Amino acid sequence: MIMKKKMAMVSIAALMAVSLVGCGGNNAATNTPKEEPKTETPTTPTPTEPEVAKLTGDFEIQYFVGGYGDKWWKKVIAEFQAANPDLKVKESGGPKINDQMKPRWIGGNPPDFVYIDGAGLNDRQMVEDDQLEDLTDWLKDAKNIDGDLIKDILAQPAQEFGGKVYNIPLVLNSWGMFWNKALFKEKGWAEPTDFESFLAVSEKIKADGITPFIHTGKYPYYINGSVLYPAIVSANNNDYSILQDMAANKVEAFEKPAVLAALNKIVALRDKGFIDKASIQINHTDSQMLFLQNKDAFIPNGLWLPNEMAKDVPAGFEFGFIPSVTQDAGGKVVANTSTATVAISKKAKNKDAAKAFLQFIFSKGQASQWAELSGAPSNIKGDISASNAPSHVKDAAKYLTDGNTVVIPTITYNADVDKAMMDATDALTISTITPEEWVKRVTDVVKKVSK
């Protein structure tokens, strides 16, 4: 998945209740004069459930197919259709769907419902272009099909734009470090829990003739998201406001000691010879293939990795995952998260169906089903330990719901500053610049864009 990642079977609750009408009748009286009239005990009529309006008409859903695949979308849409037989549901999905649908959004004829993920869609831009329905008031009281308030079961709350809500996070991704549990077990290597143990096992890995670490040099946001940003937060006493200040283009945030401390941890990996020299010039799939071939023991990535590379995962390969390895011994794990959201088009033709679909998908049952079929945790709170979700997803979910984990909310940086940070990190990994020069490079851009 080349994008900035901005994160069980379910019982289908019927959206309409069928009224049960009791039928009864009285027998006509006979002409037998001696027969005593029968006295019947009055009965209280059985109350009927209020009838829920049927969903009818056409309902179109746009969804991007990337690293999370489309298995969940296919299944949940089929379930929603079965629950609403009078509704005509149309799927508009695929890896290029965002580009294909762009003319319709521009022309004022968008689909009813949209999954905001993948290149070509940006929630902030869509809000600024007045393309999304204002869900602020609706979300205050909206309940899912289980009767739970949707806003109460979200792991990450909906982002507000000018104090209003236009989209709701569906996916909760976490950046982090992956390894092959089977290989580690075979070699007798200890799985890392902090930076000290990460360095120690990397020494053993290198001694066994395997390169400890590979990253995606062509897209450095992988190493920044998984290594640099969590390291900055750890060095800043687990306070992620430093990243928010960086996103707000505050020069002093980049000049804090925590940034240099984090950069020096990347330098430590570099100077110990732990970083694969091929990293600097390869893309995400190339680095991921080398990792799957056990030529490199660790790779920083997002939770979509196993699902994205499903066709290439060797038999017996078992993904291990931890959100961060840059914390000191005894320090808290830091999870740098991103989300993918869903929204209703402002010009949707069937807003009732769109809102009903939101109520349908934001349930705890769907949380388990999403985890199983997409390979990533849902943004819906819920215990998926008993589900059939992959082990790395369960591991990630444990961290993300653990009160001892520092969970960084999705943070978006200025595009020019972001590129400057990525380019500088690449340069740092190959000894072209020092940590101090990294800071100067980036702050020069920050000052420029802040004028």
- pLDDT by residue (tens digit) across 278-313? 999 999 999 999 999 999 999 999 999 998 899 999
pLDDT tens, 367-378?
Answer: 889 989 998 888
Distances (CA, A) of 166 to 134, 177, 316: 5, 32, 43
Half-sphere exposure of 264 (CA within 13 A, CB side): 8
CA dihedral of 299, 374, 100, 311, whole degrees rounded to 10: 60
User: Phi and psi of 388, rounded to 5°?
Assistant: -95, 20
Q: What is the pLDDT of residue 290?
A: 98
Strand locations in 249-305, DSSP E?
296-302
- For the chain, what percent of residues have pLDDT higher than 90? 73
Distance in angstroms (rounded) separating the CA atoms of residues 208 and 186: 12
Distance (Å, whole) CA 226 – CA 215: 10
Mean pLDDT of all residues in 405-409: 93
For the cut 70, the answer to whether the pLDDT of residue 10 exceeds it is no
CA angle 301, 306, 308 (to 5 degrees): 90
CB contact at 8 A, 180 and 299:
no
Do the Cβ atoms of 408 and 229 come closer than 8 Å? yes
The model's pLDDT over 200-249, given as tens digits with 9 standing for 90+, comes to 999 999 999 999 999 999 999 999 999 999 999 999 999 999 999 999 99
Query: Does 44 score more than 50 pLDDT?
Result: no
Q: What pLDDT, on the 0 to 100 scale, is given for residue 124? A: 84
* DSSP label of 132: B
Q: Are 363 and 145 in contact (CB under 8 A)?
A: yes
pLDDT for position 368: 87
Contacts (Cβ under 8 Å, ≥6 apart) of 30? none
Average pLDDT score over residue span 397-418:
89
**Beta bridge partner(s), residue 88:** 58
DSSP state of 208: T
Strand partners for 57: 87
pLDDT at 106 over 70: yes
